[in-house]
Amino acid sequence: MTDLNEGRLDLHRSRARLIAFSAAAAVVFAVLGARLFQLQILSGTAYADRALASRTVVEPIRAPRGLVFDREGRPLVVNVASWTVKARPADLPSARVDEVIGVVARITGVDARAMRARYRAFSGSPYDLVPLARGVSREAALLVGEQRAQLPGIVVEVDPVRRYLDDSAKQNGSLLSHLIGYTGAVSGDELQRLAAQGYLPDDVIGRDGVEASYESTLRGRYGSRLLERDASGRPVKVISTKTPAIPGKNLMLTVDARVQRLAEEALAWGMQAAKVKQGVTIVMNPQTGEILAMVSLPTYDNNKFATGIRATDYAAYLADPNRPLRNHAISDIYPPGSTFKLVTGLAALQEGVTTPERTWPTYGCYQIPGAAPGDCLFDWNHAGFGPLDMIQAFAVSSDTFFYQMAVHLGVDRLAKWANTLGFGAPTGIRLPGEAAGIVASTKWAQQQGRPSVYTGELAQAGIGQNVIAVTPLQLLNAYAAVANGGKLMRPMVVRGETDAAGTLIRPYAPEVLRTLAATSEHLQLMRVGARQVITTGHAYNIRDLALPGQLSGKTGTAEFGTPKPDGSLPFHSWFVAFLPSRAGAADAQLAVLTFTYSATVPGNVSTEVVKYFLQKYFALRQDLRLDPVTFARVGRSQN
């Protein structure tokens, strides 16, 4: 060993400090290594999971919406490709938004302000697409595509939209719009509620009819896939499909589009002939509750809604006093008039107020019990009919007979039977917007702030006036329950689910809501009464139709509103009928109701409409229609 300090300008070298320094260095590296081990091995899985979650997005896979067929397998709702102009905010410089949307507006003809508002209102990821204009023409879509260089952030996508067809597979959005409804863009409020169910910002949702009430069935279930994205949020590649999309189910309506067309034609003729502005025709199978046709006029074009309705079109619909957007068959309530005598009569028989054989005097004017002398209610026949039993009274529609029935029943027994027959509550048909109607009762009167219903009101309730209000569907369904032998059915519009070709693969079962606690004798008696309404000629010449059964039914006229200058009131006209094989039988397969709003003609428009419908439905060579104003024969029978 040589001299260690040779020539050294040395300070005292401390081995201890070197060791201390080295130890500190060793500790530093050991801590870092240990921390690395902890992060990567001990809790590596947790970090890796978190890392995966933070750099992936779950992207929805849209499920195609289910189609709709009629009961014969005719397609009524199909999905067609439509061009939608969308904007991706991430690629659209905010300084150029107005300018770019302006160009898009010029090309597509869509209001620039509306598009700008839609763009501004969007609050999702800047990589999401904001739909600006749906249902753009192919030419406009191509133009937008060509000018892509001048339109940063604008993309044209093909989206499916609903197309609504009629019985001849033509695009026709007015034949079935109240039944089928339409789809519309999901609103911000709805989105908050529905986002958990997979609804997307640019999604559609059923807005009316079956589109709304069978929304979850038609929609199917959206799937999702895992997309990897980079730090700026741009999707890079698909990692995996988490859940596949389940296409919406195809539905078959109970409705026969051809029958629907016949019903609409018949109703439109009658309304036009009588200058009536609103009307309803419903055709039903009373055994099952299946709706074969449901027409509410005026109607609207649901194809206008399929790509987002123009504000002017929508305003016009809203401004129309006849409210075309409403399904009058289920959403509006009217006094049922004499058709309600079925309820009063059945209740009186069941509650022992009368017997089938017992006759009651009838009057020109019925003195209200307990009221001042002379305070009486007129019969429509101011002469009165003399003594009548139930069948006779129903056949000639004696008002004073049923005043007496109602007064002897009392309001709550009448209400009980009205409720049993489905009045005062929605029928449960799976269509949105069904009204409950009004059935007078003590409780109802107390809710109005009075002890009970006045006797005069009660008497009038017995003939379906004043304190009784029903939807056309409720009335038809009550008649159907009597016609089928006592089962109150839930009216159904959807027959079941089909395959893609429209073949029924999963039928929905008809549902009996309740069995009426009425004897079959009494039910049969009411059916016989209904048959006699026709045979006695109370419904004019409809008895002369050569139908494959014994048409039974009831007319009704319900006065309402304010008297005209000549003292007459406008009235609603009803006709409800069913077709058993023989008088009194409970085997009717067809029940029809027509309601016309505010007629001022001498004839019963609704009877004429049903007559015309039956002629068409059974393809009769007869044409027995009477002009509702002049009572002259409209057409000529072909034989």
Q: How far apart are CA 541 and CA 608, in angstroms?
A: 9
| Beta carbons within 10 angstroms of residue 559's beta carbon | 15
Q: How far apart are CA 504 and CA 496, in angstroms?
A: 7
What is the nearest approach in angstroms of another protein to the Cβ of residue 58?
A: 17
At residue 69, the 3 state secondary structure works out as: strand
Q: How far apart are CA 547 and CA 35, in angstroms?
A: 93
Q: For another protein, give the closer residue by CB, 16 or 509.
A: 16
CB-count exposure of residue 49 (10 Å: 0-12, 13-18, 19+): exposed
Q: For another protein, give the closer residue by CB, 51 or 311.
A: 51
Phi, psi (deg, nearest 5) at residue 292 = -90, -25
Sign for the pseudo-dihedral over CA of 169, 174, 176, 177: positive
| H helix or E strand, kind and range, residue 81 | strand 75-87
- For residue 398, which of 527, 532, 523 has the smallest C-alpha distance? 532
Structure tokens at 623: 């044409």
Q: For another protein, give the closer residue by CB, 31 or 169.
A: 31
What is the nearest approach in angstroms of another protein to the Cβ of residue 49?
A: 9
Cα 488–490–491 angle (5° rounding)? 115
Q: For another protein, give the closer residue by CB, 8 or 382.
A: 8
Q: For another protein, give the closer residue by CB, 4 or 149.
A: 4
Contact 370/407 with Cβ under 8 angstroms? no
Structure tokens at 350: 């069941």
Q: For another protein, give the closer residue by CB, 36 or 316.
A: 36
Q: For another protein, give the closer residue by CB, 51 or 517.
A: 51
What is the nearest approach in angstroms of another protein to the Cβ of residue 125?
A: 13
Phi, psi (deg, nearest 5) at residue 484 = -95, 5
What is the nearest approach in angstroms of another protein to the Cβ of residue 127?
A: 14
Measured between alpha carbons, how far is residue 142 from residues 83, 137, 138, 146 in Å?
10, 9, 6, 6
Q: For another protein, give the closer residue by CB, 49 or 544.
A: 49
What is the nearest approach in angstroms of another protein to the Cβ of residue 47?
A: 2
What is the nearest approach in angstroms of another protein to the Cβ of residue 101?
A: 30
Q: For another protein, give the closer residue by CB, 1 or 509.
A: 1
Q: For another protein, give the closer residue by CB, 23 or 315.
A: 23
DSSP H helices in 536-621: 605-617
Sign for the pseudo-dihedral over CA of 520, 557, 514, 531: positive
What is the nearest approach in angstroms of another protein to the Cβ of residue 192?
A: 22
What is the nearest approach in angstroms of another protein to the Cβ of residue 93?
A: 21
- Complete DSSP assignment for 150-165: GSTTEEEEEEEEEEEB
Q: How far apart are CA 115 and CA 111, in angstroms?
A: 7
Q: For another protein, give the closer residue by CB, 33 or 244.
A: 33
What is the nearest approach in angstroms of another protein to the Cβ of residue 2?
A: 6
Contact 239/226 with Cβ under 8 angstroms? yes
Site for another protein, rule CB under 8 A: 1-2, 4, 6-14, 17-18, 20-22, 24-26, 28-29, 31-33, 35-37, 39-41, 43-44, 46-48, 50-52, 54-55, 228-232, 236
Measured between alpha carbons, how far is residue 589 from residues 57, 261, 543 in Å?
56, 19, 18
Q: For another protein, give the closer residue by CB, 226 or 436.
A: 226
- Percentages helix, strand, coil for the chain (3-state, rounded to 5) are 40, 20, 40
What is the nearest approach in angstroms of another protein to the Cβ of residue 229?
A: 7
What is the nearest approach in angstroms of another protein to the Cβ of residue 225?
A: 18
What is the nearest approach in angstroms of another protein to the Cβ of residue 226?
A: 13
Q: How far apart are CA 373 and CA 363, in angstroms?
A: 15
Q: How far is CA 17 from the centre of its chain?
A: 89
- Residue whose pair of structure tokens reads 């229609």 in the numeric block: 625
